[in-house]
Structure 1
Amino acid sequence: MALCVGGMVMMTPAADADAPLRIEALQRCGNLLTLDTQEFCLDVSGLNGAAYRVKLDGEPLSADHIEQQGDLLRLHIDATQAESGPLWIEQQESASNPVWLTLRGSHVIAATQEDVADNMDGISTYVNLVSLIIEESHDGAEEARRLADKYGAEVVGMIPPLNTYQLRLPANDLDERDALVLRLGNEVSVDAVVTEESGAEESIEREPNDTPPAAEDDREWAANRFLDAVNFYQRRIGRAGDEIDTQPIRIGVIERNVDFDAPDFADYLGDCRADAQRTCVYGRDADKPDGHGTTVAGVFAAAWNEGGNSGFLRGLDDVGPGFDVIVDRNSDAGITANVAASVNLVEDGARVINWSWGIHRVGAIDINGDEVDSLVRSGIAMSGYEELLEEFFLWLREEHPDVVVVNSAGNASSFSSRDEYRLPSSFVTDQLFVVGGHERSEQDVPVNDPGYAVKRNASNIDMRVDITAAACVHGSTAVAGEKGEAHCGTSYATPLVGGLLAAMMSLDPALTPAQLRMLLRRSAMTIGEEYDFEPTDADDLTAPILPSERANELNHPDIGRSARLDMYKALDLTVQSLSRER
């Protein structure tokens, strides 16, 4: 029972009053289709009987807008009087982890364990939840309600900028669902029906089961000149009299949560933005430090010399403009939720979206001709996802042309560019960057030698991959100073590129996606064998470096080779381009 006392909220003691104050979940609840007044449900641990405040963007919420039921808080937000921003709880001397509360309204719901079933391919799929992509010529909300009434369904979620609405169907099994999907798909106003294939709880991207090498951050990231890039930014941007005015950049990381008990993230609690120059992390709290989201976020923002990981943007704190790293996955509703979260983050000002996930179609083959057996989806699901992702990238191009999405190439030893096989990496658009993974070789050669790093065996390849980056990193730990186990995969190469792009944008916010790609490729070192523009095979890691990417020197030794990330040179070229503009 919550009581209002002098603008603060009083509560009965929680069962575990000694637990740290943490927000473990934040989702839309109540009527998900209203935008003016929105309701949010928070799962909170560590509250005791003392008064507490809930703060949104630094301002305490009125106590009469907060309901409490044990560890569950319900917040009623007047969206006409508030804006999206960080939300946290303060009680006595403690502050919770800040989460990002978006008022943009795109949200889809996940199925419960009772509402999923295995289809003919043995893949878990939603029985009674689908999403309709409505044709642009129709009012999406109105048409979704009409169709729901016609078929005895209910509108339960939406992504308004994509004219996409989620329906709960009156279906009890997959036969009934498929019959309704067929009828809905034949409606003139329906562009596509998205059927979700995801369990009630599933990691965004599972890494291969092979044993990773014992990663040494400085050894693996040396292949991308990580420390040189941090030093360059600190020295070149931070020196007295420098005329470069940096701009804050917001990054959206599509992951479930981050462990704020890990030393890597322990100092991100409460009002992080009280320091305008530092990197800030917003996310739900995880219960273990070595989860996928914690490791991906750690490549961006883990504290240095505290735990297993070290974040690139965190290394720029002393001179940086203040990077926001927002970790959010909307709900556990699979790919549809990933897209909904991305739409909200873009509308909330994110310039970089990190997608460390991807899926393969059933029947996809790897470079050895064997079938891919992980992260596969049926043909009908892939068709819906492809339409949804197409709508997303068309919307980006029309409404947010300055936003970039950085996507992992995948870990199936397969091909990233075949749209019949893999999404989203097969999309061809300036706003999508695809990242492969490499490991340090055993050769004793200079860092700029193509043999300094080798492709990670599991990494997907081919012409659609823009660049490779280090695939192995230490995970965060629960104990300060302890080195975590190695995590390897293109999931962790992707935020190296995403963090670098954010740093480049902070130097020159006017850079377009095409210009960013040009700077990445012009600055890249090489990896692998030269293949002289032959058809792709197992050695073709990325699109070949072209003469135009080497000052039109036709005999340049890099021509025809694959591209390896050079973080230092990319920043250097960005600063040089600024000098030429002046």
Structure 2
Amino acid sequence: MAVTYLSTFRRLSALVLMVITTAASAEQPLRVEQLQRCGDLLQLDVQAFCLQISGLDDAGFQVSLNGTPLPAEALERDGDRLRISINSAESQSGPLWLEQHEQTSNPVWVSLKGSNVVAATDQEVAKNMDGITTYVDLISLIIEESHNGAAEAQRLAEKYDAEVVGMIPPLNTYQLRLPANNLDERDALVLRLGNEVSVDAVVTEESGAEESIESETSRPPDADDQEWASNRFLDAVNYYQRRLHTGGDIETQPIRIGVIEREVDFDTPDFADYLGECRADSQRTCVYARDAAKPDGHGTTVAGVFAAAWNEGGNSGFLRGLDDVGPGFDVIVDRNSDAGITANVAASVNLVEDGVRVLNWSWGIHRVGAIDINGKEVDSLVRSGIAMSGYEELLEEFFLWLREEHPDVVVVNSAGNASSFSGSDEYRLPSSFVTDQLFVVGGHQRSDEDVQIADPRYVVKRNASNIDMRVDIMAAACVRGSTAVEDEQGEAHCGTSYATPLVAGLLAAMMSIDPELTPAQLRMLLRRSAMTIGEEYDFEPTDADDLTAPILPSERANELNHPDIGLSARLDMYKALDLTVQSLSRDR
């Protein structure tokens, strides 16, 4: 009898343990919260990646890369941390996810292209004279093109008793850890390194470990569907679905979009169905990202403009609305590490080499001393003059590389939220760069005027939006954020950060129709299709009223008396798609 009781007790214990395990799994789903290169970042043959996992118990699990399970010997586990080793010769960049107990994690993008930089810890930063957090012992060297970057960086590291710890090889940029314990020692070494004949520039990073990419501005009391209506969002989705239906005369092509953000909350209804092997359906939009803890983060909202599920109460993604007829868009959310602007550039290089055609940069920085349109100093997202000089050189190298090696790639950048000027290189980066491959987006919101959508008075500039002639176009700045509860309406998020993915998503859709479109042609179609905003100033506006580059006669079929001439440009998503299809027909 005792044996029977003992056997029954064991079965009940096992059942209780199973119930507890199942409940725990239900409470904490399987998620990849962090993925970064680790170990020797200069080693490219076999690359190591370290992951932070939640919801993983002690049972067996599987890790897949591009749909192929990784061998057990490639995995090392230590609690919630997982280290994987990937042979670059036998693998390609692609999505990675975990599986356990019939659960699948969020897929994260693993790039094997090799551009990676190290972020400083809280103990490795200090406040400089401007009161800005800066790295004490980590700097990056941009090596002159005439030198072998890797060899020269190693030579300089040995000369100055430093260590090469990171790199962006396509830009001949290498990160060094200096033997510096304070900013005086660092600055002395930076000065000496900057005087080396082989060094083009030194990049000093000014970034906190968890600083927001672009600060949001004050929210309106209410933001309804009229915001995106001002850019004809639904008309564009409807047009793409009708005109490019299956069996039609236009064959669309898949496009990859790179979003430089930290993470996305896959526990929200907006992203809950992006888990596991998304690409099993060739026509749907896929999202690859680290998992966020909260639904209202910057990355989740920006990614939501591209890919959030429809009618779930939160966001509604433009590319997600094209799923039934679309070619399969990949939205890759990655920021490399928390190493500030240098990491943003490293991630962008990797993504471009992984086939991304559109980069979304919903971030930007102002130089200390930058003034807004009212003559007051900008007090957010500012960097010292020394840091700005290094960033400017790094971004210049990036755009030169882009023009030479990847002329078909476009970067879409937010104009900024400081009521300042987007186009002055003395004040703001990266929006001040003038290149066909960089699109700059300002933000507007619905006005109180009872007029038709096409009327320039239908919207007004967001008070905080940066302006001037470097801005290519303005788009709706206010969106609904994702929520943790199904059918719950998200709060309004406002800023040029959210106008930017509207333009980036549209450009991706245009490329899917005609992949041969050049950046110059895309800009032409965007501007020719644009509606208007603001008042006419006969091409001589005061700085405070110059919202975007004014619409020219050449953008209105050379009609000198066209009413749009001289006004600023507002995004028309429907008309841009229509003109893209029309231009494709003429090409044929």
TM-score normalised according to structure 2 size? 0.95
C-alpha distance in structure 1 between counterparts of 2:542 and 2:344, whole Å? 31
C-alpha distance in structure 1 between counterparts of 2:22 and 2:453, whole Å? 55
| Between 17-26 and 222-231, the greater mean CA deviation after superposition | 17-26
Pick one of 238, 245, 248 that aligns with 2:254. 248
Q: What displacement does 1:15 show?
A: 13
Pick one of 13, 24, 29 that aligns with 2:33. 24
| Between 533-542 and 549-558, the greater mean CA deviation after superposition | 533-542
C-alpha distance in structure 2 between counterparts of 1:213 and 1:368, whole Å? 25
Pick one of 335, 340, 348 that aligns with 1:334. 340
Matches within 5 A, 1:189-338: 189-208=198-217, 210-216=218-224, 218-238=225-245, 240=247, 242-338=248-344
C-alpha distance in structure 2 between counterparts of 1:409 and 1:260, whole Å? 28
What amino acid sits opposite 2:354 in the alignment?
D
Query: Which residue of structure 1 aligns with residue 190 of structure 2?
Result: 181
C-alpha distance in structure 1 between counterparts of 2:104 and 2:22, whole Å? 16
Matches within 5 A, 1:560-579: 560-579=566-585
Q: What displacement does 1:273 show?
A: 0.3
| Unaligned segments of structure 2, at least 5 residues | 1-20
Please say if 1:495 is aligned against 2:501.
yes
What amino acid sits opposite 2:526 in the alignment?
L
Paired residues of 2:30 and 2:55 also in contact (CA < 8 A): yes
C-alpha distance in structure 1 between counterparts of 2:389 and 2:542, whole Å? 25
Q: What displacement does 1:536 show?
A: 4.2
Query: Which residue of structure 1 aligns with residue 129 of structure 2?
Result: 120
Secondary structure of the residue that 1:38 maps to in structure 2?
strand
Q: Cα deviation per residue 1:351-404 (whole Å; 9 max; x = unaligned)?
A: 000000000000000000000000000000000000000000000000000000
C-alpha distance in structure 2 between counterparts of 1:333 and 1:152, whole Å? 22
Please say if 1:137 is aligned against 2:146.
yes
Q: What displacement does 1:521 show?
A: 0.1
C-alpha distance in structure 2 between counterparts of 1:144 and 1:135, whole Å? 11
Query: Which residue of structure 1 aligns with residue 158 of structure 2?
Result: 149
Query: Which residue of structure 2 aligns with residue 440 of structure 1?
Result: 446
C-alpha distance in structure 1 between counterparts of 2:110 and 2:63, whole Å? 12
C-alpha distance in structure 2 between counterparts of 1:243 and 1:527, whole Å? 35
| Between 490-499 and 87-96, the greater mean CA deviation after superposition | 87-96
Paired residues of 1:435 and 1:493 also in contact (CA < 8 A): yes
Paired residues of 1:98 and 1:270 also in contact (CA < 8 A): yes
Change (3 A) 1:16 1:32: farther
Query: Which residue of structure 2 aligns with residue 3 of structure 1?
Result: none
C-alpha distance in structure 2 between counterparts of 1:382 and 1:233, whole Å? 42
Secondary structure of the residue that 2:268 maps to in structure 1?
coil
C-alpha distance in structure 1 between counterparts of 2:541 and 2:28, whole Å? 58
Q: Cα deviation per residue 1:71-116 (whole Å; 9 max; x = unaligned)?
A: 1111010001100000000112100000000000100010000010
C-alpha distance in structure 2 between counterparts of 1:202 and 1:47, whole Å? 29
| Unaligned segments of structure 1, at least 5 residues | 1-12
| Between 42-51 and 461-470, the greater mean CA deviation after superposition | 42-51
Change (3 A) 1:15 1:40: farther
C-alpha distance in structure 1 between counterparts of 2:386 and 2:585, whole Å? 51
C-alpha distance in structure 1 between counterparts of 2:545 and 2:574, whole Å? 26
Query: Which residue of structure 1 aligns with residue 552 of structure 2?
Result: 546
C-alpha distance in structure 2 between counterparts of 1:481 and 1:526, whole Å? 34
C-alpha distance in structure 2 between counterparts of 1:353 and 1:230, whole Å? 21
C-alpha distance in structure 1 between counterparts of 2:73 and 2:129, whole Å? 50
Change (3 A) 1:15 1:364: farther
Secondary structure of the residue that 1:246 maps to in structure 2?
coil
What amino acid sits opposite 1:99 in the alignment?
V
Q: What displacement does 1:49 show?
A: 2.6
Please say if 1:398 is aligned against 2:401.
no
C-alpha distance in structure 2 between counterparts of 1:325 and 1:123, whole Å? 33
C-alpha distance in structure 2 between counterparts of 1:334 and 1:518, whole Å? 33
Please say if 1:528 is aligned against 2:529.
no
Q: What displacement does 1:213 show?
A: 3.5
Paired residues of 1:463 and 1:536 also in contact (CA < 8 A): no
C-alpha distance in structure 2 between counterparts of 1:287 and 1:86, whole Å? 20
What amino acid sits opposite 2:190 in the alignment?
V
C-alpha distance in structure 1 between counterparts of 2:58 and 2:36, whole Å? 24
Secondary structure of the residue that 1:138 maps to in structure 2?
coil
What amino acid sits opposite 2:245 in the alignment?
G
Q: Cα deviation per residue 1:120-154 (whole Å; 9 max; x = unaligned)?
A: 00000000000000000000000000000000100
**CA-atom RMSD, angstroms?**
1.1
Query: Which residue of structure 1 aligns with residue 17 of structure 2?
Result: none
Secondary structure of the residue that 1:224 maps to in structure 2?
coil
Query: Which residue of structure 1 aligns with residue 5 of structure 2?
Result: none
Change (3 A) 1:143 1:239: closer
Secondary structure of the residue that 2:59 maps to in structure 1?
coil
Q: What displacement does 1:243 show?
A: 1.0
Paired residues of 2:308 and 2:315 also in contact (CA < 8 A): yes
Please say if 1:38 is aligned against 2:38.
no
C-alpha distance in structure 1 between counterparts of 2:446 and 2:523, whole Å? 24
Query: Which residue of structure 1 aligns with residue 379 of structure 2?
Result: 373
Please say if 1:356 is aligned against 2:362.
yes
Paired residues of 2:219 and 2:493 also in contact (CA < 8 A): no
C-alpha distance in structure 1 between counterparts of 2:537 and 2:372, whole Å? 20
Q: What displacement does 1:14 show?
A: 12
Query: Which residue of structure 2 aligns with residue 85 of structure 1?
Result: 94
Q: What displacement does 1:44 show?
A: 0.5
Secondary structure of the residue that 2:305 maps to in structure 1?
helix
TM-score normalised according to structure 1 size? 0.96
Paired residues of 1:321 and 1:506 also in contact (CA < 8 A): yes
